[in-house]
Amino acid sequence: MLTKDNVIKTISKFPDSFTLDELVDKLIFMDKVERGLDQSLNNKVHTHEEAKEGLAKWLK
C-alpha cells in the first residue's frame, strides 16, 4: 500500500512542471512495486516452473 510520505517524496522529485498522466503513471508503478514486494515477503509468489506451466496452459 502506498503511504502519504512515499507519495510526497516521489512528487518532490518531479520537475516543477509535469502532466497528470506522468504522475498517475508513477503512482500506479509505485503501487505495483509495493504489491509485488508485499507478495514476495508473504511468500505469495510462483516459481519459474509454475509460471512456465501456467503459460503453457494458456497458450494451448
Cell of 30: 509505485
CB 1 within 8 A of CB 41: no
What are the residues whose beta carbons fall under 8 Å from the beta carbon of 54, sequence distance 6 or more?
A: 46
CB 37 within 8 A of CB 43: no
pLDDT, tens digit, 9 for 90 and up, residues 2-59 = 999 999 999 999 999 999 999 999 999 999 999 999 999 999 999 999 999 999 999 9
pLDDT, tens digit, 9 for 90 and up, residues 43-59 = 999 999 999 999 999 99
**47 torsion bin: left (phi>0), alpha (psi -120 to 50), beta (else):** beta
Total-model pTM: 0.74
